[in-house]
Amino acid sequence: MKIANKKVTAERLVRDALDKAKHFSDYHIFTFLNEEGAIKKAREIDAKIKRGEKVGRLAGVPYALKDNFLSPEGETTASALILEGFNSPVTATSVAKLEAEGAIMIGRTNLDAFAHGSSTENSYYGPTLNSHDKTRVAGGSSGGSAVAVALNIVEFATGTDTGGSIRQPASFNGIYGLKPTYGTISRYGVVAMASSTDCIGFFTKTPEDMDLLMSIASGQDPKDMTTLPDYYNDTKKMNVSKARIGIIKDFDNNSVHPELRKALAKKVELLKSKGHEIVELKMPALKYGLAAYYILVPAELCSNLSRHDGVRYGFRSKDSKDLDSLYENTRNEGFMSENKRRIMIGNFVLSSGFYDAYFLKAAKARTLILKEYEKAFKKCDFILTPVSPNPAFKLGEKVDDPVAMYLEDVMSVSLNLAGVPGLAIPAGETKDGLSLGLQLVGPRRSDKNLVEFAKEIQ
Ligand code: GLN
């Protein structure tokens, strides 16, 4: 990732990335292209190199920013109308860290509005197309970021993962995507979805790049009280050439696409042949994951979204007669239907008559899931599962059926409820050329080992 050897200028890299972004404009990857800002920064880096000054570890590397990260470059819209016109006065900690190392943001990427979704079809700006098949979804919510990397427009992209939004689009597009341990990277300056499961992470083409980005972006931040001390750079490495890999036996295997099952079986054989031990696991509590997630996450997000009222920033509906109708019309026009559905579910499960039956039960299920992971990691170092039950589905196939869409998240959400890290790794293609992905799951704070293991088995 270095350009300091002067073989190529930062300006050349940035201009190439911008050209590619324009070339692929029909994929709807970007909500904003940072042409002026990116070229200006590239020239500054080139000038520094010319003067023989020290430059950062990401000097001149073009990257794409999911459009729910705040920074003054371009509007931060979270792909929702209600944030249209919002120019952030603050910069997310993760963005500041990347830029301090010289990375250059060439554009903001499309997502399901407020990161609610699994296909990027809930974006106000329309869906992003899959990098392998334009009739299919990119995955979501970070669809734009995944496709930007998969089509080689940029070296890496940022993402957020509240229940799979990095790992699922990574697997739908054949690249690496890491959801770190909860609290590894600061959430400061990122549009909040569900504060107890939101994680910041990256899309890359190699585990080596992931390693570099994690070593830069991780660490404690006084602006986010849930961040952990910087264990990523301090982790004592385990011997990744001899690992114990857990396979979950009681997942409903029939609901997993046959080619994905085959890819998993193939990977297991490969791991065995390389001397790794395979351990069979029973994890019955995981079946409560999806139901618990779709209660707890709406409960948290309805509170986070209540700040959008059309008064202080972003979009405001015209022609409202009084304050109540201003709120009502702004939210009605500014949120997508999926946002509104979740706000209603969230308020419902928190309401006094239903709190015990829904929210409290789901919170208890979450504890069961957490304990089940702890138990499993006494028997193995990592768990290997599919990221989602199917490869990329057709555009429009599930968008009118929220439950069918939610079911796609059945294998990804339990990690967020437990706070454990998951790394999506490419696992070949279907016979029709759709990419297949698997995820490696580790215990809390095993992120460095996960990445090292991915390097070992790539
Ligand atoms: N697909 C999941 C959802 O819609 C996850 C979203 C995310 O991780 N942001 O809630």
- Distance (Å) from CA 161 to ligand 1 centroid: 7
Residue 142 near residue 166 (C-beta atoms within 8 A) = yes
The pLDDT value recorded for residue 7 is 81
Task: Write the pLDDT tens digit of every residue in 307-329.
Answer: 999 999 999 999 899 999 999 99
- Distance (Å) from CA 375 to ligand 1 centroid: 26
Closest CA to 169 of 193, 142, 151: 142
Residue 306 near residue 342 (C-beta atoms within 8 A) = no
Ligand 1 site, residue 162, Cβ cutoff 6 A: yes
Ligand 1 site, residue 159, Cβ cutoff 6 A: no
Pairing of strands 156-161, 199-204: antiparallel
Question: How many CB atoms neighbour CB 57 within 10 A?
Answer: 17
Evaluate the omega torsion of the peptide bond into residue 141 and state whether it is cis, within 30 degrees of 0. yes
The pLDDT value recorded for residue 235 is 82
- Ligand 1 pocket mutation, candidates 69, 110, 118, criterion most atoms within 8 A of CB: 118
Q: What is the DSSP letter of 27?
A: G
- Ligand 1 pocket mutation, candidates 69, 137, 162, 388, criterion most atoms within 8 A of CB: 162
Catalytic residue among 71, 88, 165, 435: 165
- Distance (Å) from CA 198 to ligand 1 centroid: 10
410: which 2 tokens? 């059945």
Question: How many CB atoms neighbour CB 268 within 10 A?
Answer: 16
Catalytic (active site) residue 165? yes
79: which 2 tokens? 């792909």
Our CA dihedral for 379, 384, 387, 390, rounded to 10 degrees, sits at -120
- Enumerate residue ranges in the chain where pLDDT < 70: 1-6, 252-253
- Distance (Å) from CA 389 to ligand 1 centroid: 15
Ligand 1 site, residue 298, Cβ cutoff 6 A: no
Catalytic (active site) residue 262? no
The pLDDT value recorded for residue 236 is 78
* Signed CA dihedral, 25, 29, 33, 38: sign only: negative
Catalytic (active site) residue 412? no
The pLDDT value recorded for residue 250 is 79
- Ligand 1 pocket mutation, candidates 187, 388, 409, 439, criterion most atoms within 8 A of CB: 409
Domains assigned to the chain: 10-217 (3.90.1300.10)
- Distance (Å) from CA 217 to ligand 1 centroid: 22
Task: Write the pLDDT tens digit of every residue in 28-38.
Answer: 999 999 999 99
DSSP for 256-316 reads S-HHHHHHHHHHHHHHHHTTPEEEEE--GGGGGHHHHHHHHHHHHHHHHGGG--SSSSS--
Is the entire prediction scored with pTM above 0.95? yes
| Distance, CA of 181 to CA of 166 (rounded, Å) | 13
Residue 406 near residue 290 (C-beta atoms within 8 A) = yes
Q: Which atom of ligand 1 is least distant from the CA of 161?
A: 8
The pLDDT value recorded for residue 6 is 61
Ligand 1 site, residue 145, Cβ cutoff 6 A: no
- Distance (Å) from CA 119 to ligand 1 centroid: 9
* Signed CA dihedral, 72, 78, 80, 82: sign only: negative
374-398: burial string, b at 16+ Cβ within 10 Å, e else: eebbeebbbbbbbbbbbbbbebebb
